């Protein structure tokens, strides 16, 4: 490799809007990326915030917010690589009539107290359906990505070796926050009725898409070479446009602070309400002077 090419150690999932970057279809002649061999990025988020292993990394927004609260030297770039409505993510056993309000006094399984999907689900349950989160017993299965984050008093840890879906089916849990294939399992049903319609109604009220994963840089790298932020940002813009040219419609992968401002404001609000961060930050506080200026 030529000596003037800078290699960045990176963590990034394989999504339609990132694939061109990972495959080298879009590139910067002065940059090379050494992508970690990690199939599911959230499995390496502890390496991002605890070990500062990567120069550039995908990171869940709740993990970034808690990392910021504890002074981790990471800088947020205004790049969303995953956005998803989460109304469908809380399920109960099929055949049970369990509505959001019925979760008070029940046991609800969650992967971890501070993961982003859980933050969004709890925020929706609290703010859209009036659920008192303190009246739910949250059963956790993993530690937080940020080591300093402890489970809340409303949390209890599942026994070692237990599986959330199996516990739900066995009646050891009343509901659980699950994703992906579990949502198609006929043994489960949605707690929020008609979640697709509920998500659309939420979007029409708030004009925001819930943000899951964004991109961060090591603070020391940005301070040493501020121009890298712009070069990395442009690569993500180009990769997104290869996958799907920009439109004026609903965009689950916004780029630039203004495009994601409302989604970030809700993430901050929900994180503060749930005690994951000490106060409700202003959106602009999440970015440095350099990264705040990045725009398409």
Which residues are 80's β-sheet partners?
214
Specify whether 127 is located in the same domain as 75.
no
Residue 30: pLDDT band with limits 50, 70, 90: very high
Question: Is the predicted pLDDT of residue 1 greater than 60, yes or no?
Answer: no
Residue 55: pLDDT band with limits 50, 70, 90: very high
The string of pLDDT tens digits covering residues 259-290 is: 999 999 999 999 999 999 999 999 999 999 99
Question: Is the predicted pLDDT of residue 2 greater than 70, yes or no?
Answer: no
Specify whether 92 is located in the same domain as 187.
yes
The sheet carrying 137-140 orders its strands as 155-157, 137-140, 107-110, 175-177, 90-93, 188-190
Q: What secondary structure does DSSP assign to 38-74, as a single string?
A: -SSGGGGHHHHHTS---SEEEEEHHHHHHHHHTT-SE
Residues 6+ apart with CB under 8 A from 194: none
Specify whether 168 is located in the same domain as 137.
yes
Specify whether 55 is located in the same domain as 156.
no
1 part of a folded domain: no
**pLDDT at 105 (0 to 100):** 98
Specify the CATH number for the domain of residue 130. 3.40.190.10
Q: What secondary structure does DSSP assign to 5-18, as a single string?
A: PEEEEEE----TTT
The string of pLDDT tens digits covering residues 157-179 is: 999 999 999 999 999 999 999 98
Domain of residue 266 covers: 6-84+209-292
* CA 273 – CA 60 distance, rounded (Å): 18
Specify whether 96 is located in the same domain as 60.
no
Specify whether 164 is located in the same domain as 246.
no
Q: Which of 175, 190, 205 is the C-terminal boundary of a domain?
A: 205
Q: Is there a contact between 291 and 223 (Cβ–Cβ < 8 Å)? A: no
* CA 200 – CA 194 distance, rounded (Å): 10
* CA 265 – CA 259 distance, rounded (Å): 12
The string of pLDDT tens digits covering residues 124-156 is: 999 999 999 999 999 999 999 999 999 999 999
Q: Which residues of 175-190 are buried (b: 16+ CB within 10 A; e: fewer)?
A: bbbbeeebeeeeebeb
Place of tokens 């203004």: 258
- The pair of structure tokens assigned to 259 is 């495009």
The string of pLDDT tens digits covering residues 63-114 is: 999 999 999 999 999 999 999 999 999 999 999 989 999 999 999 999 999 9
Mean pLDDT of all residues belonging to the chain: 95
Question: Is the predicted pLDDT of residue 3 greater than 80, yes or no?
Answer: no
Q: Is there a contact between 232 and 56 (Cβ–Cβ < 8 Å)? A: yes
Number of domains composing the chain: 2
């Amino acid at each position: 490799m030529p000596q003037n090419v800078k290699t960045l150690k990176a963590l990034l999932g394989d999504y339609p809007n990132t694939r061109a970057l990972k495959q080298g279809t879009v590139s910067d002649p002065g940059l090379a990326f050494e992508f970690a061999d990690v199939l599911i990025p959230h499995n390496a988020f502890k390496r991002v915030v605890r070990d500062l292993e990567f120069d550039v990394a995908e990171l869940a927004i709740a993990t970034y917010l808690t990392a910021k609260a504890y002074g981790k030297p990471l800088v947020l770039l205004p790049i969303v690589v995953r956005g998803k409505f989460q109304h469908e993510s809380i399920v109960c056993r099929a055949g049970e009539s369990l509505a959001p309000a019925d979760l008070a006094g029940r046991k609800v399984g969650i992967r971890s107290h501070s993961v982003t999907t859980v933050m969004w689900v709890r925020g929706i349950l609290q703010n859209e359906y009036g659920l008192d989160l303190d009246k739910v017993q949250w059963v956790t299965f993993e530690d937080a990505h940020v080591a300093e984050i402890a489970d809340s008093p409303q949390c209890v840890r599942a026994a070692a070796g237990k599986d959330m879906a199996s516990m739900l089916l066995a009646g050891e849990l009343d509901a659980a926050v699950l994703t992906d294939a579990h949502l198609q399992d006929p043994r489960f049903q949605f707690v929020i009725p008609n979640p697709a319609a509920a998500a659309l109604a939420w979007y029409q009220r708030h004009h925001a898409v819930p943000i899951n994963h964004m991109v961060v840089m090591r603070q020391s790298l940005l301070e040493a070479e501020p121009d890298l932020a712009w070069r990395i940002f442009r690569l993500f813009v180009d990769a997104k446009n290869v996958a799907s040219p920009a439109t004026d419609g609903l965009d689950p992968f916004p780029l630039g602070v203004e495009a994601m401002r409302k989604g970030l404001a809700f993430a901050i609000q929900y994180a503060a309400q749930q005690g994951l961060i000490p106060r409700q930050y202003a959106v602009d506080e999440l970015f440095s002077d350099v990264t705040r200026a990045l725009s398409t």
